[in-house]
């Protein structure tokens, strides 16, 4: 299959030892920087404090994004030296989003300003770096051929990048959730690049991002000996991860000679996209801003269904992995892209229908649990059913992370 559009070229060939050294630097630097940045973060006010909208119990530094970004930079220097030309738009866009995210975490910038900055970095990627999606592939069948985007390719690519930035940002609601999902996505992107014969330099980028993200997750994922996260991503980290995921997905799919299906790349990112798209539709249908905060994300629904924070997080990580592996399997087995496209559309529509019936499904699950525990099926001492609702709050507008630690 032909490339989807603009290309990235000029990546140096790296040997395995060089990549492994850079990977160790990515993990080690990020893991070392998270605790080292705590005191400066406290002085600058880069701390997330508990309030009525957040579930964590103690002030938590928002140092994860800065630590993993610096870890990635250190790894890139080891791997590429000064040869950053092939991915200068990745570095520039991530740097801009990191700075704006840090300012937002400290001073809370307006939603419109953040949105404009996201459009700016995506536009630089498209019009400055020549990286854009120009074709969706034969998603409507081989008879119709590749579906080209023509003059709308640039706008389509910008919209996809901005959407992915906000999808990861909105996913950052439980300890380890957004970072873990990004870690899985980076590994899947590395696997696709490897299977598709991408240059070693391009293959190294998602692997190094995965290493830096894992260094942060040491302090963000819950473990038996650590029931709460010690650091959060913050908006600075979630926006950087979302942009890096979008950039790498497009770069791998649009490189010269790429053979991966466009729809396979969509499967790698479908779980965060599914949740965000469904909530956008729901909020607009309720007459609210698509960026307004609520508690109807997938991780909220899993918690209200009775799953603990760690269980909910690992369930979503597993969904990201399984969806990505399914897309890769379809591509490797030569399934028609149209079939994968139809199935992806079915997932998006099916989740939208599921979200619309979430309250009814939660009531059914609660009744089953009460029966299993020997309680009255209708609930409550007065025999009246306790309502299960999808809560929302209109007090916060704009695409930003909830940065909550969650509850057991």
Mean pLDDT of 1-29: 78
Res 384: pLDDT: 46
51 confidence band (pLDDT: 50, 70, 90): low
Cα four-point dihedral sign 214, 219, 220, 224: positive
Mean pLDDT of 147-161: 94
The percentage of the chain sitting over the pLDDT mark of 70, rounded to a whole number, equals 84
14 confidence band (pLDDT: 50, 70, 90): confident
Which has more confidence, 294 or 43? 43
- Chain segment 262-274, per-residue pLDDT in tens: 999 999 999 999 9
Other CB atoms within a 10 A radius of the CB of residue 246 amount to 25
Res 3: pLDDT: 40
pLDDT higher than 50, residue 376:
no
53 confidence band (pLDDT: 50, 70, 90): low
**Averaged confidence pLDDT in the chain:** 85
Mean pLDDT of 153-181: 93
Res 247: pLDDT: 97
User: Rounded distance, CA 96 to CA 247, Å?
Assistant: 14
- Stated pTM of the model: 0.86
Res 224: pLDDT: 67
Res 281: pLDDT: 80
Mean pLDDT of 192-200: 94
Beta bridge partners of 96: none
pLDDT higher than 70, residue 305:
yes
- Chain segment 378-401, per-residue pLDDT in tens: 444 444 444 444 444 333 334 444
pLDDT higher than 60, residue 404:
no
Res 66: pLDDT: 95
Identify whether the C-beta of residue 153 lies closer than 8 Å to the C-beta of residue 384.
Answer: no
Res 343: pLDDT: 97
54 confidence band (pLDDT: 50, 70, 90): low
The angle at the Cα of 354, spanning 350 to 357, to the nearest 5 degrees, equals 145
Which has more confidence, 325 or 230? 325
């Amino acid at each position: 299959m032909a490339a989807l559009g603009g290309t990235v070229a000029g990546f140096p060939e790296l040997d395995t030892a060089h990549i492994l050294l850079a990977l160790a630097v990515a993990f080690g630097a990020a893991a070392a920087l998270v605790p080292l940045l705590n005191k400066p973060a406290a002085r600058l006010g880069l701390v997330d404090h508990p309030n009525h909208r957040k579930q964590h119990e103690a002030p938590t530094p928002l140092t994860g994004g800065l630590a993993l970004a610096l870890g990635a930079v250190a790894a890139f220097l080891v791997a590429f030296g000064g040869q950053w030309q092939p991915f200068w738009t990745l570095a520039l866009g991530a740097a801009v989003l990191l700075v704006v995210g840090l300012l937002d975490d400290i001073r809370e910038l307006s939603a419109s300003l953040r949105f404009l900055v996201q459009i700016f970095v995506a536009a630089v990627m498209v019009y400055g770096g020549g990286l854009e999606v120009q074709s969706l592939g034969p998603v409507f069948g081989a008879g119709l051929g590749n579906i080209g985007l023509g003059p709308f390719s640039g706008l389509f690519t910008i919209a996809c990048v901005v959407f992915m930035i906000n999808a990861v940002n909105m996913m950052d609601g439980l300890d380890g959730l957004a970072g873990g999902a990004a870690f899985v996505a980076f590994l899947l992107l590395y696997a696709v690049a490897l299977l598709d014969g991408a240059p070693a330099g391009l293959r190294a980028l998602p692997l190094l991002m995965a290493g830096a993200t894992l260094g942060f997750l040491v302090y963000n994922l819950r473990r038996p000996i650590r029931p709460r996260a010690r650091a959060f991503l913050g908006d600075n980290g979630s926006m950087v991860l979302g942009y890096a995921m979008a950039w790498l997905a497009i770069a791998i799919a649009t490189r010269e000679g790429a053979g991966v299906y466009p729809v396979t790349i969509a499967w790698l990112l479908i779980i965060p996209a599914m949740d965000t798209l469904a909530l956008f539709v729901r909020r607009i249908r309720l007459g609210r801003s698509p960026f307004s905060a609520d508690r109807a994300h997938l991780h909220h629904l899993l918690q209200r269904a009775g799953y603990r924070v760690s269980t909910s997080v690992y369930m979503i990580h597993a969904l990201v992995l399984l969806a990505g592996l399914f897309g890769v399997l379809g591509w490797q087995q030569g399934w028609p892209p149209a079939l994968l496209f139809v199935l992806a559309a079915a997932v998006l529509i099916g989740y939208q229908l599921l979200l619309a019936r979430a309250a009814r499904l939660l009531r059914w699950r609660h009744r089953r649990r009460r029966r299993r525990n020997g309680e009255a099926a209708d609930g409550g001492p007065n025999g009246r059913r306790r309502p299960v609702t999808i809560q929302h709050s209109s007090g916060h507008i704009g695409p930003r992370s909830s940065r909550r630690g969650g509850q057991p």
